[in-house]
Structure formats: structure tokens, C-alpha cells
Amino acid sequence: MEKIFNSETQKKQKQLLLSKFAGFRDISVEESNIVNILSPGRANIIGEHTDYNSGLSLPIAIDKYKFLTGMKNNSDFVEIYDSSFKEFYKFSLKNIYFDSGVEWSNYVKGVVKEYLIHDHKIGGFSFIIDSNLSIGSGVSSSAAMEVGVAKLIEQLFDLKIKPIDTVKYCYSAENNFVGVKCGYLDQISVVFGKKNYAIFLDFKDLSHNYLPFNLKDYLILIIDSKEKRNLSNTEYNKRREECSEAVEIFIKVSDRKDIKNLSEIDLEMLNTIKAKIPEKLYGRARHVITENIRVIKTREALVSGHIKEIGSLLNESHKSLRDDYEVSTERLDYLADEIVKIDGVLGARLMGGGFGGNIISIVKDTELDNIINIIGEKYTNKFNNTPDFICCKPSDGAKKINF
């Protein structure tokens, strides 16, 4: 059964915080000094691998969360207890180093370091973290952690930080400390999410606007393949390098020195140099260019209420991610190919960085149980592993919460 965060959870979280940390030193803990942060994951409807190419995307924050409860601890240390893994971790503000032995700790350390680098006055703090977000499945549990820690710091130490700066700190933490060369998609989604709305993002200038998200009689169903991946240890970073290389070749061949990224190139322009660019890099560029087009078409379909068209666009996106961008896997392809054969499914594609993780699909609400049973049984029989299913809807971004 799914873990639900509510007032009872909040009460237990506070009790756990005090029992785990307050007894270690002379801390006078007032109820008002304990801060709760609810930080969502995200689902990207469409627009994959476009963020670091200054393109377009259409994500939502989802109603699955990291739940942090914390307090100042009058020391120079950050103390963490992960309720899901039942693990402790502690590090000094004066010695923040990358820990390859406890990978999840680096997302916390990277964020803390950003606030110190930017000369914000913070001290030690202790916090409990719980989650109903699946790790490594493409719903951005890492950004939920980063932004959750950032919001906790801002609340505990009364920092007046602009939301876009919170995004930039968390982005820098993941890129420069953790070592994942991601774009801004995840952090913006988690910070700026809005209930019942999708976010139309333009990564050229990090601008965004909200789009009412109404699928009528359909739902978002995410299927976790249970094929775990670690983006810092995959070819994710290589894809970013390949995109930069494709831009460099385009500039050299076309003598268009004004071009800075793939999103400034259209298909006609790309095809003029097709014979002069390696086939692999041509595919990378074609994915980014056509994916931006699909984002715009998806926005138009949402506005006009043509929900079935969105399903077709998801199918096209998966084929592009599989063939042109080469970030899919046998298991992701199987899920995407097989689920669209079931009545009530409009479309599906891999979501997130790829190389494992999950797919996102749009399914008829009245057929949900049947769809889950059919695809779950087929996948289990083929791969001897039972997938997880997540139905989700748009949520608010990370925030202080009192249930």
C-alpha cells in the first residue's frame, strides 16, 4: 500500500526527529522551530533531453513526495536520518566532500555547499526524510531531495531566496558536486509546480507559463520497469557532449556562428549538412529538433482538448528516443510497445534520462485496473520482475507544510 503523508505522518516524523537527534545534545526544541517540507517528484509529459539543449518541455510536479522534517541543532554538522532506508548520515559544514560510498548523501551535501558558496549564513541542522517516490525510476527523486533540502535551509535560517535562485543552486549542486550534467527541467518542475497545471518551459531563458492540465476521461499512468540506473554512471553525460559536438559541426559546416544550441536549428537547416555530419550526431540533433516540435503540438492539443493526439505524440517521442537518441532499453521498449496494444491506452514513451527507469502513458480511467493487470502480467512473465505503477496528477511545488 502506498505511503501517504498527512497529519498523522507529520506527528510521527516530529517524534522520530526528536528521539533520534534532540537527545544527543542540549537542544531546547520548540514546536515552532520544527519545519516540515513537502517536495514533489516530477513527470515530464513530453520534451525529453531538450533542457540542456535550450529547448522546450511540458512537465508537471506530481503528488508523490520527499517529506522532510528538520530543526537547527546548534552545531557545525548536518545530521540526516532516512526513514525509508533506516540510515544515519552526518557531515561537517567545514568539510563537505563527495562520498562515493553513500551516494544519496551527495545530493544533500551539494545543496548545502551552494548556500555556503553564496555566503548565506547557515549553521548545522538535523532532519528526518521519508519518501513515497521511487528512486532511480525517472520521477526525479534526486531533484525532490535537492529542492526539499534547499527549502528546509531557507525556512530554518530565514533566508529570502528567489525561487529561480533556489533552482540554480540545486542545478549547480547536481552538475558540479554530484556530477550529473543535467539541465534545468527537474529543478524548475519541483520548484514551480502548480496543482492542476502543467508548466510550459522554455529553457532558452528559463521562462515558463502555466497551462491548465485536463485529460478529461484519461489519466497519467507511470510504470516503473525496476531497471535501475545511475545517471552519473551511464551515457547520459555523453549525450550532452554529443549535442555540443553536433552544434560545433553545424557551425563549422554552415558558417553560422550565431547558432548556440540545437534548438536554434530547424529540420531544414539540419538536412542541409546531413552528408557532412556523422549519422549518430545527426540522430541526436534530429531528436532534439523534432521533440521541440512535439512539445508545441502537445500544448496545442491540451488547449484544444484533443487528448488522443497527445497519445500519438508520446508514441512518436518514444521512437525518437529509442532510434535517434538511443537512450531506451529492451525493457522500456517492451513496456512502451506492449501497453499501446491494450484498449484504453492512447500512447506511451520512456520518461526521464533513459537507460532504465520508467515509461509514462495516458490511459482511460475506466480501464485502469485492466490495463495494469494485463501489462503487469506480461512484463512479469517476460522479465521475471514485477513493475510498479504510479497514477499521478499535477501538484504544487516544494513548500513548507502543516497538514
Q: Would you say the C-alpha torsion 140, 141, 144, 149 has a positive or negative sign?
A: negative
> Would you give the distance in Å from CA 324 to the centre of its chain?
22
What pLDDT is stored for residue 305 in this prediction? 94
User: Which helix or strand (DSSP H or E) is residue 156 part of?
Assistant: helix 141-156
> Against a cut of 0.95, is the pTM above it?
no
Q: Which long-range contacts (CB under 8 A, 24 or more apart) does 203-209 make?
A: 203/50, 203/51, 203/52, 203/53, 203/54, 203/55, 203/56, 203/57, 203/263, 204/54, 204/55, 204/263, 206/164, 206/167
| pLDDT (average), residues 20-39 | 71
202 flagged as catalytic? no
Residue-wise pLDDT for 188-235, tens only, equals 999 999 999 999 999 999 999 999 999 999 999 999 999 877 555 567
Task: Tell me if residue 55 falls in helix, strand or coil.
Answer: coil
Domains of the chain by range and CATH?
Answer: 7-213+395-400 (3.30.230.10)
Q: Is the dihedral of CA 22, 25, 31, 35 positive or negative?
A: negative
The dihedral of CA 178, 399, 89, 30: what is its sign?
Answer: positive
Of the pLDDT bands very low, low, confident and very high (cuts 50, 70, 90), residue 24 is very low
The 10s digit of each residue's pLDDT in 41-86 is 999 999 999 999 999 999 999 999 999 999 999 899 999 999 888 8
23 grid coordinates? 537527545
Which of 204-208, 298-302, 353-357, 360-364 comes out lowest in average pLDDT?
Answer: 353-357
Return the H-helix or E-strand segment holding 77. Answer: strand 77-82
* Whole-number Å distance between alpha carbons of 38 and 146: 12
pLDDT at 402: 85
Please tell me which residue in 51, 63, 130, 186 is annotated as part of the active site. Answer: 186
Query: What residue type is 144 in one-letter code?
Result: A
